[in-house]
Amino acid sequence: MDYFKTVEEFKEQCGYTIDGVWYPRVTKIVGIKNKPALLFYYAEAPSYAAALAQTKISAEEGTLIHNIMEKIFKGEEPEIPESVAPAIKAARELVEQKNIQIDTANIERRIYDTEHRYAGTIDSLAMIGGQFGVLDIKTSQAIYRDYNLQTSAYIAALSKDPLLQGLQNRWIFRIDQQKKCYRCAASMRPKGGKEKIRGAKAGLCPNGEHDWSPLTGIAELKEFPLWKNDFEAFLGAKKLWEWENEDWLKRVGYLK
């Protein structure tokens, strides 16, 4: 549970004010869901402060990739730091391979739903394989089911726009990078100031002395066409988030 000092701090960190009305943010609502992998991550860290520091660096790297891809989608040629060049190269190749056509008018668009009272920011809308829908960029280690809650909220809100009645699909576009060990086939993902190694085979690399390949980009596109069941789950998460933050929501006038 988050802690806040003032009503303004709560409003700033948990939502958006649109046309004078405050709405809770989709990502904050989805954050109420338990994430076992995240708990394990904190348990592995030397301290809570160290885990927060790593999370901050990781988030900054993710934001950097998001910002670069946004500029590429707009037809710009941004400067690409060497630290994320393999990931961006893989992403560009997948965009070309899948013929991903970005609706530049809807990049980083703020969306909101007045009926269910929430708001968010989509990465973009896109045409892929003859279908039009929501494209959400992630820089995580995998495509997690939690993302379905977030994107279902986006597509539910956008579907109410008369100009977007043709929305048919939603995709997660995962962008990452890693190294592979030539001897034991383990993978190493350097992110957030930490080198996370997976799949190491006992005995092949004694004392953890791996023979790493150069950093290689990873780009993955996965579609999730059926969203209504996920949206029902999102609304359930929203109800729990409202219960958890009832006092603050009453202070801002969202709940009575």
pLDDT digits (tens, 9 = 90+) for 155-203: 999 999 888 877 889 999 999 999 999 989 899 998 877 788 888 877 7
Domain of residue 88, CATH code: 3.90.320
Provide the percentage of residues in the chain whose pLDDT is more than 90.
72
pLDDT of residue 92: 98
Lowest mean pLDDT among 55-64, 104-113, 244-253: 55-64
Q: Residue 207 — very low, low, confident or very high, per pLDDT cuts 50/70/90?
A: confident
pLDDT of residue 37: 63
Tell whether 131 is covered by a domain.
Answer: yes
pLDDT of residue 42: 62
Mean pLDDT for 143-164 is: 93
Tell whether 230 is covered by a domain.
Answer: yes
Q: Residue 97 — very low, low, confident or very high, per pLDDT cuts 50/70/90?
A: very high
- Take residue 227 and report the two structure tokens written for it: 């969203």
pLDDT of residue 39: 61
Mean pLDDT for 12-22 is: 96
Range of the domain at 86: 61-198+209-249
> What's the mean pLDDT when you consider all of the chain?
91
- Its sign, for the CA torsion 188, 54, 121, 232, is positive
Whether the pLDDT of residue 43 is over 60: the answer is yes
Mean pLDDT for 51-71 is: 88
Tell whether 154 is covered by a domain.
Answer: yes
Tell whether 16 is covered by a domain.
Answer: no
- Take residue 86 and report the two structure tokens written for it: 């393999």
Whether the pLDDT of residue 116 is over 80: the answer is yes
List alpha helices for 77-144, DSSP H: 85-97
Count of domains forming the chain:
1
Cα–Cα distances in angstroms (integers) from residue 199 to residues 15, 40, 88, 140, 179, in the given order: 39, 17, 25, 17, 12
Provide the percentage of residues in the chain whose pLDDT is more than 70.
94
β-pair type (187-191, 101-103):
unpaired
Tell whether 24 is covered by a domain.
Answer: no
Q: Which of 89, 88, 124 is nearest to 108 (CA)?
A: 124
Tell whether 56 is covered by a domain.
Answer: no
pLDDT of residue 228: 94
Mean pLDDT for 96-109 is: 96
Q: Which of 185, 173, 170, 171 is nearest to 217 (CA)?
A: 173
Distance from C-alpha of 235 to C-alpha of 149, rounded to nearest angstrom: 9
Q: Residue 237 — very low, low, confident or very high, per pLDDT cuts 50/70/90?
A: very high
pLDDT of residue 54: 77
Tell whether 40 is covered by a domain.
Answer: no
Tell whether 48 is covered by a domain.
Answer: no
